[in-house]
Structure 1
Amino acid sequence: MKYIKSLIYMSIIIVLFVSCGPKETITETNVDEQTPTTTEDSATSDPIKVSVPIGPIGDFVKQVGGERVDVNVILPPGSSESNYQPSPKEMNALAESQIYFSIGMGTEVANILPNMTSLNENLLVIHLDEVVDQVYPAMYFEDYEDNQNHDEDEDEHEDEDNHGHEGRDPHMWMSPKRVMVMIEAIRDELITLDSENASFYEDNAKAYIHELTALDDQIRDFIATVSNKKFIIMHPSLGYFADDYNLEMIAIEEDGKATTARRLGEIIDFANANNIKVVLYQQEFDSQQAKTLADEIGGSTMVFEPLSKDYLDSLTRLFDVFKAVLK
Structure 2
Amino acid sequence: MIFVSILPQKYFVEQIAGDTVDVEVMVMPGASPATYEPRPRQMAALAKADVYLAIGVPFERTWLPRIQSTNPKLKIVHVEKKLRKLPMAANAMDIDASPRGTILHDYRNEEASHPEDNTEHNHAMHEHKGMLDPHVWLSPRWVKAMTKPTRLAISKVAPEHAKLYRINARAFTKKLDELDEEIDTLFKPIPAEQRAFMTFHPSWGYYAMTYNLIQIPIEFEGKAPTPKVLEQITSIAKKRNLRTIFVQPQFSQSSARAIADSINASIIVANPLAENWEENLREVSKKLAASFILSE
Give me the TM-score of the superposition, normalised by structure 1. Answer: 0.77
- 2:246 is the alignment partner of 1:285: no
Q: Residue 319 of structure 1 is aligned with which of 257, 272, 285?
A: 285
State the SS of the aligned residue for 1:280.
strand
Once residues 142 and 67 of structure 1 are traced to their aligned partners in structure 2, the CA distance between those partners, rounded to angstroms, is 38
Once residues 68 and 234 of structure 2 are traced to their aligned partners in structure 1, the CA distance between those partners, rounded to angstroms, is 49
> Looking at CA atoms only, which structure, 1 or 2, has the larger radius of gyration?
1
Match for residue 84 of structure 1? Answer: 36
- 2:67 is the alignment partner of 1:116: yes
Deviation at 1:191?
Answer: 2.3
How far does the alpha carbon of each residue in 1:243-279 deviate from its partner, in whole angstroms, 9 at most, with x for none? 1111111000023311112221222221121111111
Once residues 130 and 195 of structure 1 are traced to their aligned partners in structure 2, the CA distance between those partners, rounded to angstroms, is 23
Aligned pairs for 1:52-201 within 5 A: 52-110=4-62, 112-131=63-82, 133=83, 137-141=84-88, 143=90, 147-148=94-95, 150=97, 161-164=124-127, 167-201=131-165
Cα distance change, pair 310–142 in 1 and its aligned pair in 2 (3 A): closer
Aligned pairs for 1:201-280 within 5 A: 201-227=165-191, 228-280=194-246
Once residues 146 and 122 of structure 1 are traced to their aligned partners in structure 2, the CA distance between those partners, rounded to angstroms, is 48
Deviation at 1:310?
Answer: 1.3
Once residues 189 and 83 of structure 1 are traced to their aligned partners in structure 2, the CA distance between those partners, rounded to angstroms, is 26
Q: Which runs of 5+ in 2 are unaligned?
A: 104-120
Check whether the contact 2:2–2:50 (CA below 8 A) recurs between aligned residues.
Answer: yes
Once residues 96 and 193 of structure 1 are traced to their aligned partners in structure 2, the CA distance between those partners, rounded to angstroms, is 13
Check whether the contact 2:183–2:282 (CA below 8 A) recurs between aligned residues.
Answer: no
Deviation at 1:82?
Answer: 0.8
Give me the TM-score of the superposition, normalised by structure 2. Answer: 0.84
Cα distance change, pair 64–253 in 1 and its aligned pair in 2 (3 A): same
Once residues 90 and 255 of structure 2 are traced to their aligned partners in structure 1, the CA distance between those partners, rounded to angstroms, is 23
- Letter matched to residue 122 of structure 1: K
How far does the alpha carbon of each residue in 1:96-122 deviate from its partner, in whole angstroms, 9 at most, with x for none? 110001112111112x21213311111
State the SS of the aligned residue for 1:235.
coil
Match for residue 40 of structure 1? Answer: none
Once residues 266 and 209 of structure 2 are traced to their aligned partners in structure 1, the CA distance between those partners, rounded to angstroms, is 24
State the SS of the aligned residue for 2:38.
coil
State the SS of the aligned residue for 1:163.
helix
Deviation at 1:68?
Answer: 1.2
- Letter matched to residue 218 of structure 2: I
Check whether the contact 1:279–1:302 (CA below 8 A) recurs between aligned residues.
Answer: yes
Match for residue 308 of structure 1? Answer: 274
Deviation at 1:193?
Answer: 3.5
- Between Structure 1 and Structure 2, which shows a larger proportion of helix residues? 1
Q: Which runs of 5+ in 1 are unaligned?
A: 1-48
- Greater RCO between the two (CA within 8 Å, min separation 6)? 2
How many residue pairs are counted as aligned between the two chains?
Answer: 269
Once residues 275 and 252 of structure 1 are traced to their aligned partners in structure 2, the CA distance between those partners, rounded to angstroms, is 16
